[in-house]
A and B are shown apart, each in its own frame.
Chain A
Amino acid sequence: MPEASVAAPQLDPHRHSVRAFARRLFALTRKEVRQLLRDKSNLSIGLLLPVILMLIFGYGLSLDVKNAPIAVVMDDSSPTAMEAVVGLQLSPFLSPIMLTSMREAEAKMLAREVDGIVRVPSNYSSELAAGHGSIQVIVHGAEASRASIILNYVTATLAQQGVRSLDRVGGIGKGGLGYIDVESRLWFNESNTSTWYLVPGLIVLIITLVGAFLTALVMAREWERGTFEALFVSPVKPVEILLAKIIPYFCVGIIGLAMCLVTARFLFGVPIMGSLLILLFASVLYLLVALGIGLLISSVTKNQFMASQVSLLVSLLPVLMLSGFMFDLRNVPLPISIIGHLFPATHFMSLIKTLMLAGNVWPQIIVQCSILIAYAVFFISAARFVTRKRLD
């Protein structure tokens, strides 16, 4: 063996090692990008699924009540009675159907063709003149939350009409007794649409999907296919392997995030009340956390099937169930809430909701971002720790 070639590696000056690092990282990253681009299924999970989810959640899944059909039974056909219910027709939330018999209305209710019945009794005008007119409101209670929303809309509409007619008589009579005018306003989700509430959560879901679920497969795949065995016997360092896995998926995650934000803003009109920059910064932090979780799972399980199961269990399901995406964590029992707060997604969820719907709440931004940074550092270093160039 010639002496020179033996000594060569030790003579390699330090400045060269930086260049060698960059060269290897570039080669590995290029390899990952090529693999990613050629694997149509992974790429579509990364880029197509976010759009599909946005559209499904944005259009398909809505907790709102709009144009709820209401049967209006007019036993009293006087102008006063007509005036009482005309407001229902103007409401964007209700669409009244005028009927003449209660039996007909009940039949429609049973068939679920209407969500409620408003009945104006035959003595309405005379009773009103006597100062105590009453209107019967019946709501289909099968879906409790929808029923209470409809009940609210109906009573509010009817009450407004009552106020208007009082105004017209110039405050004489009832006005003297004084009435309370309830003017309700919703803050932070002014239009009271669930899309506003769901979309920020969806961004969390999509980042988790790209970060944890996709990367969970990439390390495991190399272990399974035995490609690491060959790759390890080369000047490659573990940190280069990890970085090369993070970079392409980071980019896919950013693209997914951008698509989410654009659809949120322009398709669904979700406002971004806080700073876009801080929103992006927090999202990048959470993306790094998700990537770290994915790589850690992948490096530990070394098996694609196991990795996908585990990542489903510890990243996607908690986002759906425990992060406050659908169910507010303040309403759950304390132990569940504590468990929920162990997941980084929960912190990012509350942060992104605040940033989009409320604005820059600095104490919260600082606390949640610090938590996310801690998680990111923890998971990525743990992934680095378990990735050894060893087979045992």
Chain B
Amino acid sequence: MNAAGSAVQVQGLHKQFLDKESGRTIVALRDINLAIPAGTISAFVGPDGAGKTTLLRLLAGLLRVETGSIEVLGVDAKRDPQQIQDRISYMPQRFGLYEDLSVQENLDLYADLHGVGAQARVERYARLMEMTGLAKFTERPAGKLSGGMKQKLGLACTLVRSPELLLLDEPTVGVDPLSRVELWEIVEQLRHDEHLTVIISTAYLDEAERCAQVYVMHEGEVLAHGTPQALSDHARGRCFMARSPSKQPSRLLQSRLLDADDMVIDAVPQGGDVRFILNEQTQSDALCLRKILDGARVEEVSPRLEDGFMVLMRAKLHHDKGETDASLAAVSLSKSVTGADACGGAARDEVMIEVRDLVRKFGDFIAVNSTSFAVRRGEIFGLLGPNGAGKTTTFRMLCGLLPATSGFLQVAGVNLRTARANARRRIGYVSQKFSLYGNLSVKENLEFFGGAYGLRGQRLRQRIATVTEQFELHGLERTPSGHLPGGFKQRLAMAVGLLHEPDILFLDEPTSGTDPLARREFWRRITALANAGVTVIITTHFLDEAEYCDRIVIQDAGELKALGTPREVWVQAGHSATSPLNMEKAFIDIVNQARQSAQRNDKEVASA
């Protein structure tokens, strides 16, 4: 260990890959310099493709070091990766578990490989079981655990002995909020008890806020690094909260603010209000800003890491050839938003989806139990819940992909139990994996799916032209969809889902694993669609996104636990109607209350 007490030292690191299909060289990392102090938790944050995973793999000695130097625990990663691998632990994004081995067998395998003695093992296992709550499931095959449980087992496998450095690659992606909280408790406790150095990559900025050191990455470069406080300070004096006076959803004010992108860097709904960041030139009392705010009460707030991150990202995007697709999209969207305001009034009250006493059983297992709700036209309706809560099952029944065991289910005025094909014509569906044909071009995908929906000739060409325009896909028509970057894939998937002008759009975890920038852009589109009268049903893991929804349901263990606007759900969780909203807290409270009152164990959750 060197004198500086750094666990990791990286200097002038470059990394590039050869893309075999296109034969092009892709630069993954550019001039990276790191000095990570021992005994701290550091975070790599950044959008998809920023190089976070590549950097972690390089630190773990899993990739060849070509240019630059990496020293981990005082060992040169180029010369002796094996010695590094003997001493560190690494949890890859997919947890790296053997799904056909039981929990105990997975643990034993890693304990054997690391040479943990029988005596040490007894103590260590007891501690890991206590921390992870896996004690009840030791005989269960890892493949049959829920996402949160898998994540904890993955972590336990990396901690069968005390490593000197722990690398975690996006450990909380696709994991529900309860499990996220527990994972962080474990990591922080270890750092405290064993003086462990931890490096974590994450798309959640609230998680990065708990770290001592944050590296903001973008397209293979480190844009900035420092304490969360120092990074937040990039937005100091420019963060404000605006409370909409009228009863209208805060997302309307939010989209007005975002449209003024010559003044506003970012705006998000938060706690029923709108949080926004101004750029350097704009004063908070500027005349044109006041016009947008339309009498909303504004107060300055202290910046969070996310605000600093957004400031850095926007600055970077402006720096690279001025505008990028993200801000371009904002411009075109603003048109569609204003153009669509005509849809309103009576049509808004039309009930698009009605569900009464919906039940779905798989054998003896009740996946969804007597669930009832109704969704009106133009609403954004969110389904939230931990893994295995039954939201995917509910979702699939609504789309007509899965028949209900019993209950009443009407979608777009059609009873799904009797006329599924008719209902399907009126809904669009975007699955989590997008369901595109990777080797067909953008245009071919659109033509194929258009044909599948029964569009042809003039009408098909017209619709393709419209969605290409709407989702900013021109110039990419000939690109195979498999080569599109993630954000574009999602846009194409949505374009496909909207080709036949459905009344209802279903989106299954569309933002899972995407970065804050892509999520902002996504929600702008969704907001615009809803304003145009499309009903949107969405499932999500990100609870802050619940605030974009008009109404939400929270499900747990197949039961509907809460239903209403975010504010109403906050009250149902036992908080006062005027206190600032925190959806994550509301969610955790509601799920915990329900679990305690039902005296139910975790069994059903884990088995789904």
Residues of chain A lying within 8 A (CB to CB) of residue B81: 389
Q: Could you tell me the distance between the alpha carbons of A356 and B340 in the complex, rounded to whole angstroms?
A: 84
Cβ of A35 and Cβ of B113 under 8 Å apart?
no
Q: Which residue of B lies closest to A35 (CB)?
A: B100
CB of A18 closer than 8 Å to a CB of B: no
The count of chain B contact residues (Cβ–Cβ below 8 Å) is 49
Cβ of A229 and Cβ of B62 under 8 Å apart?
yes
A6 and B73 in contact (CB under 8 A), knowing A230-B157, A389-B82, A391-B62?
yes
CB of B225 closer than 8 Å to a CB of A: no
A1 and B63 in contact (CB under 8 A), knowing A226-B96, A235-B86?
no
Cβ of A235 and Cβ of B92 under 8 Å apart?
no
Q: Could you tell me the distance between the alpha carbons of A233 and B5 in the complex, rounded to whole angstroms?
A: 23
CB of A267 closer than 8 Å to a CB of B: no
CB of A103 closer than 8 Å to a CB of B: no
Cβ of B82 and Cβ of A229 under 8 Å apart?
no
CB of B184 closer than 8 Å to a CB of A: no
CB of B39 closer than 8 Å to a CB of A: yes
Contact of B1 among A6, A39, A231, A236 (CB under 8 A): A6
Cβ of A1 and Cβ of B90 under 8 Å apart?
no
Cβ of A233 and Cβ of B60 under 8 Å apart?
yes
**Closest CB-CB distance, A339 to chain B, in whole Å?**
29
Q: Could you tell me the distance between the alpha carbons of A5 and B88 in the complex, rounded to whole angstroms?
A: 12
Contact of B195 among A1, A35, A231, A391 (CB under 8 A): A1
Taking CB atoms and an 8 Å cut-off, the chain B residues in 62-95 that contact chain A are 62-64, 73-74, 81-83, 85-95
CB of B105 closer than 8 Å to a CB of A: yes
Q: Which residue of A lies closest to B91 (CB)?
A: A230
CB of A66 closer than 8 Å to a CB of B: no
Contact of B97 among A6, A227, A228 (CB under 8 A): A227
**Closest CB-CB distance, B467 to chain A, in whole Å?**
33
Q: Which of A23-31, A105-113, A279-287, A359-367 touches B?
A: A23-31
Q: Could you tell me the distance between the alpha carbons of A26 and B109 in the complex, rounded to whole angstroms?
A: 10
A233 and B90 in contact (CB under 8 A), knowing A27-B109, A226-B96?
yes
Q: Could you tell me the distance between the alpha carbons of A391 and B57 in the complex, rounded to whole angstroms?
A: 8
Q: Which residue of A lies closest to B74 (CB)?
A: A6
Inter-chain contact total with CB atoms closer than 8 Å: 109
CB of A268 closer than 8 Å to a CB of B: no
**Closest CB-CB distance, A242 to chain B, in whole Å?**
15
Cβ of A235 and Cβ of B85 under 8 Å apart?
yes
Taking CB atoms and an 8 Å cut-off, the chain B residues in 46-66 that contact chain A are 57, 60-64
Cβ of A233 and Cβ of B98 under 8 Å apart?
no
CB of B416 closer than 8 Å to a CB of A: no
The count of chain A contact residues (Cβ–Cβ below 8 Å) is 34
| Contact bitstring B102-131, A, C-beta under 8 A = 1, else 0 | 000100111011110000000000000000
CB of B17 closer than 8 Å to a CB of A: yes
A23 and B85 in contact (CB under 8 A), knowing A35-B101, A227-B97, A234-B110?
no
CB of A38 closer than 8 Å to a CB of B: yes
CB of A343 closer than 8 Å to a CB of B: no
Q: Could you tell me the distance between the alpha carbons of A107 and B95 in the complex, rounded to whole angstroms?
A: 74
Taking CB atoms and an 8 Å cut-off, the chain B residues in 110-157 that contact chain A are 110, 112-115, 154, 157
CB of B99 closer than 8 Å to a CB of A: yes
Residues of chain B lying within 8 A (CB to CB) of residue A230: 90-92, 95-97, 154, 157-158
CB of B7 closer than 8 Å to a CB of A: yes
CB of B528 closer than 8 Å to a CB of A: no
CB of B550 closer than 8 Å to a CB of A: no
Q: Could you tell me the distance between the alpha carbons of A190 and B5 in the complex, rounded to whole angstroms?
A: 82
Q: Which residue of B lies closest to A226 (CB)?
A: B94
| Contact bitstring B444-457, A, C-beta under 8 A = 1, else 0 | 00000000000000
CB of A3 closer than 8 Å to a CB of B: yes
Cβ of A227 and Cβ of B98 under 8 Å apart?
yes
Cβ of B98 and Cβ of A3 under 8 Å apart?
no
Residues of chain A lying within 8 A (CB to CB) of residue B509: none
A6 and B164 in contact (CB under 8 A), knowing A232-B62, A391-B57?
yes
**Closest CB-CB distance, A302 to chain B, in whole Å?**
12
Q: Which residue of A lies closest to B92 (CB)?
A: A229
CB of B560 closer than 8 Å to a CB of A: no
CB of B38 closer than 8 Å to a CB of A: yes
Taking CB atoms and an 8 Å cut-off, the chain A residues in 1-46 that contact chain B are 1, 3, 5-6, 9, 20, 23-24, 26-28, 30-31, 34-35, 38-39
Cβ of B39 and Cβ of A1 under 8 Å apart?
yes
Residues of chain B lying within 8 A (CB to CB) of residue A392: 17, 63-64
Cβ of B115 and Cβ of A390 under 8 Å apart?
no
Q: Could you tell me the distance between the alpha carbons of A226 and B53 in the complex, rounded to whole angstroms?
A: 13
CB of A225 closer than 8 Å to a CB of B: yes
Q: Could you tell me the distance between the alpha carbons of A236 and B1 in the complex, rounded to whole angstroms?
A: 24
Cβ of B112 and Cβ of A227 under 8 Å apart?
no
Q: Which residue of B lies closest to A392 (CB)?
A: B63
Residues of chain A lying within 8 A (CB to CB) of residue B57: 229, 391
Q: Could you tell me the distance between the alpha carbons of A30 and B110 in the complex, rounded to whole angstroms?
A: 12
Cβ of B63 and Cβ of A390 under 8 Å apart?
yes
Among B64, B89, B108, B114, chain A packs the most CB atoms within 10 A around the CB of: B114
Residues of chain A lying within 8 A (CB to CB) of residue B88: 233
**Closest CB-CB distance, A120 to chain B, in whole Å?**
71
**Closest CB-CB distance, A384 to chain B, in whole Å?**
15
Q: Could you tell me the distance between the alpha carbons of A9 and B90 in the complex, rounded to whole angstroms?
A: 18
A9 and B112 in contact (CB under 8 A), knowing A1-B164, A233-B62?
no
Contact of A31 among B61, B91, B101 (CB under 8 A): B101
Cβ of A1 and Cβ of B109 under 8 Å apart?
no
**Closest CB-CB distance, A119 to chain B, in whole Å?**
68
Cβ of A235 and Cβ of B17 under 8 Å apart?
no
**Closest CB-CB distance, B162 to chain A, in whole Å?**
8
**Closest CB-CB distance, A20 to chain B, in whole Å?**
6
Contact of B112 among A27, A237, A390 (CB under 8 A): A27
Cβ of B62 and Cβ of A225 under 8 Å apart?
no
| Contact bitstring A305-335, B, C-beta under 8 A = 1, else 0 | 0000000000000000000000000000000
Q: Which residue of B lies closest to A36 (CB)?
A: B100
Cβ of A232 and Cβ of B85 under 8 Å apart?
yes
Cβ of B113 and Cβ of A3 under 8 Å apart?
no
**Closest CB-CB distance, A386 to chain B, in whole Å?**
15
Contact of A234 among B100, B113, B195 (CB under 8 A): B113
Among A6, A235, A390, A392, chain B packs the most CB atoms within 10 A around the CB of: A392
Cβ of A1 and Cβ of B73 under 8 Å apart?
yes
Q: Could you tell me the distance between the alpha carbons of A169 and B62 in the complex, rounded to whole angstroms?
A: 93
Cβ of A231 and Cβ of B112 under 8 Å apart?
no
Cβ of B89 and Cβ of A233 under 8 Å apart?
yes
Cβ of B115 and Cβ of A227 under 8 Å apart?
no
Residues of chain B lying within 8 A (CB to CB) of residue A229: 57, 62, 90, 92, 94, 96
Q: Could you tell me the distance between the alpha carbons of A236 and B86 in the complex, rounded to whole angstroms?
A: 8
Contact of B99 among A20, A225, A237 (CB under 8 A): A225
**Closest CB-CB distance, B138 to chain A, in whole Å?**
15
Q: Could you tell me the distance between the alpha carbons of A389 and B88 in the complex, rounded to whole angstroms?
A: 15
Cβ of A236 and Cβ of B113 under 8 Å apart?
yes
Q: Which residue of A lies closest to B165 (CB)?
A: A1
Among A24, A27, A234, chain B packs the most CB atoms within 10 A around the CB of: A234
Q: Which residue of B lies closest to A227 (CB)?
A: B96
Contact of A9 among B86, B97, B108 (CB under 8 A): B86
- Provide a sorted-by-A list of 10 A–B residue pairs whose CB atoms are within 8 angstroms: A1-B1, A6-B74, A31-B101, A35-B98, A226-B94, A227-B96, A229-B94, A235-B85, A235-B115, A389-B61
- Nearest 4 interchain pairs by C-beta: A230-B96, A27-B112, A233-B90, A226-B94
